[in-house]
Chains A and B, each alone.
Chain A
Amino acid sequence: MTGTRPCSEENGAVSNASSETYANLDGPWGFAMPSGTLEQANYMQQYSQLYFCRLAEMRNFYSTYTDITRVAISQLNPVQTQWVVGIIFKQMPLKPSILKSYADDIMLTVPELRLLNYTSGDDRVYVEDETGRIECVFHPEDRKHDVVTGMVIALQGLVGADGLFRVNEIRLPMHPAPIPLPCSGQSAKQYICFLSGVDVRTPAAQLFLDYVTGCLGADTVQLGACMRVIVAGNLRGERSLLDLFLKTLAEHVPVDLMPGEEDPVHAAFPQQPWHRLLLPQSASQDDAQNRLVRCSNPHAFQINGCLFLGTSGQNVKNFCRFSRVRNELEALQRLLECGHLAPTCPDTMACVPRGDHDPLVIREVPHVLFTGNADTFRYQQRVFGAARNAGTAAPVTLLTVPRFDATGTAVLLALPELTPTTLQF
C-alpha cells in the first residue's frame, strides 16, 4: 500500500488498459440523475405515473408477436379466449404491511416478522391496464408464483361467470438480441474484475489489494490484463479506511464504484453515486481518466463494445422474496426475460416516483447482466427472446457475484468470451 505501482508498470498493463474504450452509461440510461435533478425529484407526485409509463412503454415489447391481438381489460368478453397485456399486482397476505403495524393500538415496536419468502397459497394475482383490473386464476395454481407485482406481461385466457380471468398462457416480451461481439484479434486475455460486499478491515480485503497492486507476485498475467474493477455495492469499514482502500485500488486499476443498500446513499432506486464529500481522498482522483467512477446503482457501461448492466443486488433479493425461484441466478434470468430490472419497485422496494419514464425498463439487452451481494457465485450463458429463434444471436452472460466478506470471492470475467473465473482470498 505504498501508492506506487511497480508491478503493473513492468507488465505494461496500464497502457493496455488505457487503450480500451470505456463509456459510463448511467446518465444516458437514466439511472444517475444529472446534477440538481435528484433534489427536484418530485415527491409530491404518486407512483401511478411511473406504473403508467412502464405499461405504456413495455406494452410495445409485445408488438413483435404476430399472434397477440391485445384487448383492453374492460373489453374482455366471456365467450372468447383473448390476450391482455397489463401490469401484475400480486396480493400477498404475508407481505409486510405498514398499515397493519399502524393500525395496532399498541405503540410498542414489535420486531417485524421478516421472512425469507413472502409467497403463500393465499396469494391472489391481478392484471391491470388503464381500463381496469381483473383477478387471474392460473392452472396449475402454482404458476402464480412465477410472476411478481409490477411485471408487464401478456396473458391469454377466458373470463368466467365469476369474473375471474382463467389464464391459459403467459407470454414475456420478445427482446432483440445483443449485437454479437467482434472476435478479438488479441491473443492476450483481458479481464473485468467484480466484487461486492467488501469489509476493508479484513485480511482478505488487504490480500485483494495486495493482489491488485502486484505485491503478491502471483498470476500477474491475469492481473496485467485486468482492465477494470467493478465494486458492486456494500463496502464496510470506517469511512477513512474505505477511502484509502478505494484510492489505493484506483491508483492501480480503474474502478467503478456502485453503491449498495448498506452504503451511505439514497435508499430509493435507482441509487445515486456516493457523494464526493464522503470519499475526500479517492474522489479527488482525476475523474477525466475514469480512474474511480462513482456510479449509480443500477450501473450500465460499455467496454470495447461489450455492454454491461448490473445492480448491487437489492432488486434480485426482493424478487426472490416475492416469487418462487431456486436461486439468484434464476431470478436474474427472470428479470431479463420480463424486461425490467426491478419490477417490485415501488411495491416492495423504495424507488423514486417519476412522471416521465421508468428508467428500470430494460430497453437494450446487455452482453453481461450481473448482480452483486449474492449468496454464491453462479453464471450462465444463454440466448434470450427473439434471438432464440433467429439462431445467429449472441448469448447473454448472467453473473451473480457473491459477497466478498462472506465468501472471499472475486470474479474475473474474460473478454471477449465472457467466461468467468473466481479468485479466492
Chain B
Amino acid sequence: MVPQQFSPDPYEPNDALDDDSFEVDVDEAAYLTNCEPVLETTGGALSGHETDQESIEFFRRLCGRPAARTSLLSASESLLFNQVTCDYVVERHRAAEPHTTVRVYGVTLSGESVLLCVQGFAPYFYASAPKGFGDGALGELRAELEHKCRTMGRVADCSGDCILGVERVRRRSVLYYKPGEDDSEFLRITVRTPDLVRVAAGLLSQGSVLGRVFDVFESSVDFVLRFMIDTKMMGCSWIEVPAGSYTVVSNALSPSYAQIVAEAHWQSVVCHPPSGEWLRTAAFRILSFDIECAGRKGIFPEPENDSVIQIGCHLGEYGKTEPLVRAIFTLGSCAPVAGVQVISLNREQELLQSFRNFLVAADPDIITGYNIVNFDLPYLLNRASAIGASRFPYLGRICRERTTMRRTRLSSSAFGTHESMTFSIEGRVIMDMLQVIIRDHKLRSYSLNSVSSEFLNEQKEDVHYSIITDLQAGNEHTRRRLAVYCLKDAYLPLRLMDKLMSLTNYMELARVTGVPLDWLLSRGHMVKVVSLLHRKAHEADLLVPDLPRTEAGGRSGDGGPQYEGATVIEPKKGFYRTPIATMDFASLYPSIMMAYNLCYSTLVHESDVPKLKPDDYIRTPLGHCFVKPSVRKGILSEMLEEFLASRKAAKRDMQNATDPFLREVLNGRQLALKISANAVYGFTGASVGKLPCMEISASVTSYGRNMIELTRSTVERLYPGAEVIYGDTDSVMVKFNDHATLEQVMELGREAAKQLTNIFPPPVRLEFEKVYYPYLLISKKRYAGLYWTRLERHDKMDCKGIESVRRDNCRLVANVVDTVLQKLLIEQDVDGAIEFVKKIVSDLLQNRIDLSLLVVSKTLTRATTDYEAKQAHVFLVEKLRKRDSGSAPSLGDRVPYVIIKGATKNEKAYTRAEDPIYVLENSIPIDAHYYLENMLRKPLERIFSAVMKRPETLFSGAHTRSIQVATPRTGSGIMKFAKFRLQCVRCRAGINEAELQKRGLKGSALCEHCRDFEAETYLRHLKQTAELEQLFSALWTQCQECMGSCIQDVLCSNGDCPIFYRRRKVQKDITEAQTILGRFGDVW
C-alpha cells in the first residue's frame, strides 16, 4: 500500500482565494454556438458571475440542511452527534508551537452537520526499556532523540520540543506467554506531531539512539485510530460533549462549511458504545452523481480535451426511499424535466462551479455514484485543472482545503490487487457503489447495466458516448433526453445502495470493528483486525509489537510459510438421488481458537516450555504450545467470545424487533460480527500482515482437519451403512442409507450433529443445517443440489464452483449449465438433460442459436499496442480500426465479439473474433466447433461425468451430423467473385426470369418445376414472416418502454441486454423475408 503521487500536483497551494483566475478564458468547444440562451427559470442568480457565497446561498434554499438550533450555536446544550468520519490536521502557525487537532465530523439527530475539533491529544508509542534503564539514561535518550528528530528535515521549522515526554510504564508484550514474567518496563514516548512517531520509532529501532536497538511497539498505528482507541470511539458511533466543555467557533471565523464547529479537549469527549439506543443513525445525507462528457468520435473522453456537459445529482437521506432533491447541471439550455431542478449554464467553468456550490450547499456526508472513484471524480478534477476552474476543487467540509487525489494500489488477499484513486474530501465519505459491489459480490459483469439487472431487475438504457456528443449538439430537447439518461445513472447507485443495504451494513461493520467508515472501502481486510486487536490489547495493558518486515518473514520462515491448508475428504462423485445430510461446524476457525485458547498472548516459546507444568499447556497437532485459559486467557479468545455473544444477541434482538429498519441494522450488525470473527484467523495467517503468527494459523487448520476426519470416522461408526461422501473446510456431507426419506435424514442429521458436538471441546459445535436432495457431486468444491431445510419445499438450488458466473464465458454456457442443473435436480430427468444438451449442440451446429448468447465481451484496458499476449478482443479492435477508425472501440470500452469460421483451417481463434453486429449484417458463419470445444465441452462433461458413463457422446453422434452454415453476404474468398443469381426458394435451382415471363408464370420465387408447391412454399415463408413481425414488435416496444419514451428513437447500445442483438437480427431477417415473399408476386 505505497501511495504514489498521481501526477505532479498542478495546483499552487494559495490560489484558492484568487477569484480572478476564474475569468481565464478558454476556447469553448464549437457546439456552444448551437446553444440557445440560458433558460430564464434558473434566474439571473446563476449566471455564474455571482460569488460562490451567493451561489451557495441559492442552493441552500433549494436543498440545504435545516437551520442549526440556537441551543447548540450558543453551546448551552450538550453536543451530541453521530460520527461520519475523522481526520487530523497539524496546525503550524508562525511563531507558535505546532499542535495536532483531531477533526471529528458528524450529524446530529435533527440533521445539523457538526465539526468537532479535538485538542490536546498527542501521538505516542512505546519502546522496550532495557534492564536497569535509570533516570539518567532516560534523560539522555530524550535529549538525543530530540536532537536527532530535529535534524531529520521535515520537523526543522518546528518550534518547541519534538519529544513531549518519555515516561516509564509497566506493560507486557502481546506476543508470547513468558512464564514467571507478569509485566516489564517500557518507555512511553509522546511526540508533538503524528509524523514524528515514525521518525522517532525508526531512530530507536535502528539503533541510532544511545547506540542500542530498542524494540518498538504500536508506532505503526494510524494517529486517527490511536485517538479512537484511546477514547473508545467506534466508527459511526455517537459522540457527546457536555455543555460547558466545548466552545462554538463563530460563523465568521469558521474554517468549515459545517453548521456547528466546536472545539473541545479530548478528555471531555464522551463516546457512546454503539448498542441499545445508540444503535440509531442520524439522517446522513447521500449525494449520488454522474457526469456526461462530450467525447469525440472514436476517442474515449479525455479531461484535457473533452468538456463535461452534464452532471446529474440525486440527494437522498439515509432511511428515506425518495430523494430530497434531483438536480441536473447542463451546458447549454435544456428543456425542463418534471420534478428535477434543471440548472443550465453557458460556460463549462460555470457548470463545474455551480455543481461544486451545489455540493457544498447540499453538504452530503456520503458521496456515491458508479465508478466515481476512478472516472467521474478524477475527470472533474482534471477537467477543472485543464480549463482553469481553480475554485472548483474544494469539495470537502474544510473551506480552504483543496481536494486532491492520489493513485493508490491496494493489494489484498481477499480482493486482489486494485489500482484506485483516493481523494482528500474532508468530512465526506466516498462510497463508490462499483467498489462496494466488487467487494461484496461475485458477478459475471460489473457494468451498471448488468448490476442493475442483477439486483434491481431492471435493464438500463446505455447510450454510447459518441451519441452523447450528438445529443449535446442538438437542441434543448435532445439535451433534455441526455439529462434524463444522466439522471437515471445518478439514481441507480442510490437504489443499489438501498436495495443491498450497503450503507447500513458498512456502518455496522464500522461500529463493530471500530474503524472509520471510509477506511472500510479504501483499505484491506486487515485494518479491521488491527483496530480490534489494539483496542483489546489497550484494555489489557498489552502492547502490540511492530515487527520489521524482514523479521516477520523470518518468523514464519522457520516453519516454512507454506503450511498445510484445510484438506477435504476426497469427494465420491456421482449423482445422488437420496437425501444427503450436510452438517457444518458453526464458525469453525474462531471456535477452534477459543476452544484451545490459541492467541499471541498464550503462545509459549519452545525454550520456555520446560518451565511450565504439563497441565498448564496444550500441544497442538503441529507441536506448538499454548497455555490453557486457567493460566492466561488469550485476548483473541476473549475477542471472539465477545463477537459470538454479540452476534447471538443481535440475532435475538432481530427476531424481537418490530421496526423493520432496526431489524436491518441488527442484521447488518450480525453480518459484521461474522465477518470480523472470520477475519481474525486470516490476520494471524497473512504472511505480509501486521502481526503474522503461523503458530496460530497453522494450528487452527490442523485442528480443523482433525475434526473433519474425526467426524467422518465417528459418523461411520455410529451409523452403520452411513457414508461421508464429501467434506470440505467446515462441512461434511453424509449419506445415511439408500432408502431414507427426507424426513428421516433430517432427523438423523439433527441427532448426529448433537452427538458429534459432544466429542469436540466447546464452543466447537457441529450443526445440522440442510439436506441436499438430489445432490450432484462433481469434484472438489464443485457441486450442486437442491437445498432443503423444511419438508414442504426446497429453499433453493445451490451451486458451488460451477461455471455459470465466470465472466469470460458467453451467455450460452451459463444458460445451458443452469438449464441442465434445473433438469437434473428439479425435474430429476437425466435423459431430458441429455436430450436438451444434444439439442443445443445440434442447434449450434445448425446455426440456430441466437447470436446474443454467443457474445463474449472484454474491456479494452490498455492501448492495443501494450498487450503482449494476443487476445481476441484486442485483435478485433485493430481490425475495426482499419475498417472505420471513427467508430472503433477505444480504451475503457467493452468490446463484444463472437468467434467466426476462419478462411483456412489453422487460423488462430483470436484472429477470428468479429463484431457481432457485423456478423449479423453480413451473415458471417459462426465457428460452432469453437463454441462446442472451447466453451461448452468442459463444463458439461464435468457435470455429466457424474451422471452418465461416456459424457463425450454428448458431442458426437447422430445429432452432430447435420450442419448448416450461414452464407456470407460479403467478404471473403470466393464470394467476392460470385455473381448474384436468383435461386428457387424451394429447390435452390437457378431461375431464368425471362423464361418464366415468356411462359406467363407470375412471380419469381420458384423455378418452373416447383410451381406445384407454390402455395405451400408461400405459406411456409409467410408463417416465418408473421412470427418475425410479432418479434419485431415485441422487441422494439420493449426497448421503448425501457428507454421511457415512445416518440424518441431508441439509442440504447447496451450489449449486455439480451435484446440488443436480437433486435438488430430481427430487422435484417424480416427484411429478407419480405423480399422472398415479394418474389411470389402481388397478392392480387
Closest CB-CB distance, B916 to chain A, in whole Å?
16
The answer, yes or no, to whether A35 is at the interface (CB within 8 Å) is: yes
Closest to B1031 in A: A98
Q: Chain B residues in contact with chain A, CB under 8 A?
A: 322, 335-340, 453, 459, 477, 480, 804, 811, 814-816, 818-819, 822-823, 836, 840, 1014-1015, 1018-1019, 1022-1023, 1025-1027, 1029-1038, 1040-1042, 1044-1050, 1057-1059, 1062, 1066-1067, 1070-1071, 1074-1075, 1077-1078, 1080-1084
Contact flags (1/0) for A41-58 with B, using CB distance below 8 Å? 101101110011001000
Contact flags (1/0) for A69-97 with B, using CB distance below 8 Å? 00001111000000000010101000001
Closest CB-CB distance, B358 to chain A, in whole Å?
19
The answer, yes or no, to whether A128 is at the interface (CB within 8 Å) is: yes
The answer, yes or no, to whether A105 is at the interface (CB within 8 Å) is: yes
A132-B337, A346-B1037 given as contacts; is B1071 within 8 A of A43 (CB)?
yes
The answer, yes or no, to whether A108 is at the interface (CB within 8 Å) is: yes
B1023 x A264 contact (CB < 8 A)? yes
B819 x A75 contact (CB < 8 A)? no
Residues of chain A within 8 A (CB-CB) of B1038 are 97-99
The answer, yes or no, to whether A224 is at the interface (CB within 8 Å) is: no
A133 x B1044 contact (CB < 8 A)? yes
Q: Would you list the 7 A-B pairs with minimal beta carbon distance, nearest first?
A: A163-B339, A39-B1078, A102-B1058, A267-B1026, A350-B1033, A163-B338, A74-B335
A39-B1074, A133-B1044, A278-B1015 given as contacts; is B1049 within 8 A of A75 (CB)?
no
A278 x B1036 contact (CB < 8 A)? no
B1015 x A131 contact (CB < 8 A)? no
B1074 x A87 contact (CB < 8 A)? no
Residues of chain B within 8 A (CB-CB) of A107 are 815-816, 818-819, 836, 840
Residues of chain B within 8 A (CB-CB) of A346 are 1033, 1036-1037
Contact flags (1/0) for A122-149 with B, using CB distance below 8 Å? 0000001111111100000000000000
Closest to A108 in B: B819
A105 x B804 contact (CB < 8 A)? yes
The answer, yes or no, to whether A216 is at the interface (CB within 8 Å) is: no
B1030 x A89 contact (CB < 8 A)? no
Closest CB-CB distance, A99 to chain B, in whole Å?
5
Residues of chain B within 8 A (CB-CB) of A43 are 1032, 1066-1067, 1070-1071, 1074
Closest CB-CB distance, B1063 to chain A, in whole Å?
10
Report Cα–Cα, A272/B1025, bound state, in Å: 13
Report Cα–Cα, A41/B131, bound state, in Å: 98
A272-B1083, A350-B1032 given as contacts; is B1074 within 8 A of A52 (CB)?
no
Closest CB-CB distance, A47 to chain B, in whole Å?
6
Among B453, B822, B1071, B1080, which residue has its beta carbon within 8 angstroms of that of A108? B822
Within 301-346 of A, Cβ neighbours of B (below 8 Å) are at 346
Q: A99-B1057, A347-B1037 are in contact. List 13 more A-B contacts (CB 8 A).
A: A48-B1045, A97-B1038, A130-B477, A130-B1047, A135-B338, A165-B338, A264-B1019, A268-B1032, A272-B1083, A273-B1083, A277-B1014, A294-B1083, A346-B1037
Among A103, A132, A266, A278, which residue has its beta carbon within 8 angstroms of that of B1018? A278
A266 x B1022 contact (CB < 8 A)? yes
A43-B1070, A163-B340 given as contacts; is B1082 within 8 A of A35 (CB)?
yes
B1027 x A267 contact (CB < 8 A)? yes
B816 x A48 contact (CB < 8 A)? no
Residues of chain A within 8 A (CB-CB) of B1045 are 48, 128, 133
A44-B1067, A51-B1046 given as contacts; is B335 within 8 A of A132 (CB)?
yes
A35 x B1023 contact (CB < 8 A)? no
B1083 x A103 contact (CB < 8 A)? no
Among B815, B1027, B1031, B1046, which residue has its beta carbon within 8 angstroms of that of A106? B815
Closest to B340 in A: A163
A47 x B1078 contact (CB < 8 A)? no
The answer, yes or no, to whether A276 is at the interface (CB within 8 Å) is: yes
Q: Which of A347, A349, A352 has the most CB of B within 10 A?
A: A347
Within 251-272 of A, Cβ neighbours of B (below 8 Å) are at 264-268, 272
Closest to B1018 in A: A277
Report Cα–Cα, A68/B436, bound state, in Å: 52
Closest CB-CB distance, B738 to chain A, in whole Å?
30
The answer, yes or no, to whether A275 is at the interface (CB within 8 Å) is: yes
A128 x B1046 contact (CB < 8 A)? yes
A276 x B1084 contact (CB < 8 A)? yes
Residues of chain B within 8 A (CB-CB) of A349 are 1033
Closest CB-CB distance, B480 to chain A, in whole Å?
6
Residues of chain B within 8 A (CB-CB) of A384 are none
12 pairs across A/B with beta carbons < 8 Å? A43-B1032, A44-B1071, A46-B1049, A46-B1050, A106-B819, A106-B822, A128-B1046, A129-B1047, A132-B477, A273-B1083, A275-B1080, A346-B1037
Closest to B339 in A: A163
Report Cα–Cα, A87/B1044, bound state, in Å: 12
Among A47, A161, A294, A348, which residue has its beta carbon within 8 angstroms of that of B1046? A47
Closest to A275 in B: B1083
Report Cα–Cα, A37/B840, bound state, in Å: 38
Contact-residue bracket for chain A: 35 or more
Among B1029, B1058, B1083, which residue has its beta carbon within 8 angstroms of that of A99? B1058
The answer, yes or no, to whether A169 is at the interface (CB within 8 Å) is: no
Report Cα–Cα, A55/B1071, bound state, in Å: 27
The answer, yes or no, to whether A31 is at the interface (CB within 8 Å) is: no
Report Cα–Cα, A346/B1036, bound state, in Å: 9
Residues of chain A within 8 A (CB-CB) of B1075 are 39
Closest CB-CB distance, A74 to chain B, in whole Å?
4
Report Cα–Cα, A131/B484, bound state, in Å: 12
Report Cα–Cα, A372/B339, bound state, in Å: 45
Closest to B1049 in A: A48
Report Cα–Cα, A239/B1018, bound state, in Å: 13
Report Cα–Cα, A353/B1074, bound state, in Å: 14
Report Cα–Cα, A46/B1018, bound state, in Å: 27
Report Cα–Cα, A162/B322, bound state, in Å: 10
Q: Which of A38, A133, A162, A265 has the most CB of B within 10 A?
A: A133
Closest CB-CB distance, A213 to chain B, in whole Å?
27
Residues of chain B within 8 A (CB-CB) of A133 are 1044-1045
A350 x B1030 contact (CB < 8 A)? yes
Within 9-53 of A, Cβ neighbours of B (below 8 Å) are at 35-36, 38-41, 43-44, 46-48, 51-52
Closest to B1063 in A: A46
A38 x B335 contact (CB < 8 A)? no
Residues of chain A within 8 A (CB-CB) of B818 are 105-107
Closest CB-CB distance, B241 to chain A, in whole Å?
38
Residues of chain A within 8 A (CB-CB) of B811 are 105
The answer, yes or no, to whether A225 is at the interface (CB within 8 Å) is: no
Residues of chain A within 8 A (CB-CB) of B840 are 107
Closest CB-CB distance, B578 to chain A, in whole Å?
25
A274 x B1083 contact (CB < 8 A)? yes
Residues of chain B within 8 A (CB-CB) of A159 are 338
Closest CB-CB distance, A344 to chain B, in whole Å?
10
Residues of chain A within 8 A (CB-CB) of B1036 are 46-47, 346, 353
Report Cα–Cα, A256/B1027, bound state, in Å: 26
Residues of chain A within 8 A (CB-CB) of B1014 are 277
Closest to A160 in B: B339
Closest to A75 in B: B336
The answer, yes or no, to whether A204 is at the interface (CB within 8 Å) is: no
A47-B1046, A87-B1046, A99-B1058 given as contacts; is B1084 within 8 A of A132 (CB)?
no
A47 x B1037 contact (CB < 8 A)? yes
Report Cα–Cα, A39/B339, bound state, in Å: 45
Report Cα–Cα, A161/B1026, bound state, in Å: 47
The answer, yes or no, to whether A192 is at the interface (CB within 8 Å) is: no
Closest CB-CB distance, A167 to chain B, in whole Å?
14
Closest to B1042 in A: A99
Report Cα–Cα, A146/B745, bound state, in Å: 56
Q: Which of B1027, B1059, B1081, B1083 has the most CB of A within 10 A?
A: B1083
Closest CB-CB distance, B826 to chain A, in whole Å?
10
The answer, yes or no, to whether A417 is at the interface (CB within 8 Å) is: no
The answer, yes or no, to whether A387 is at the interface (CB within 8 Å) is: no
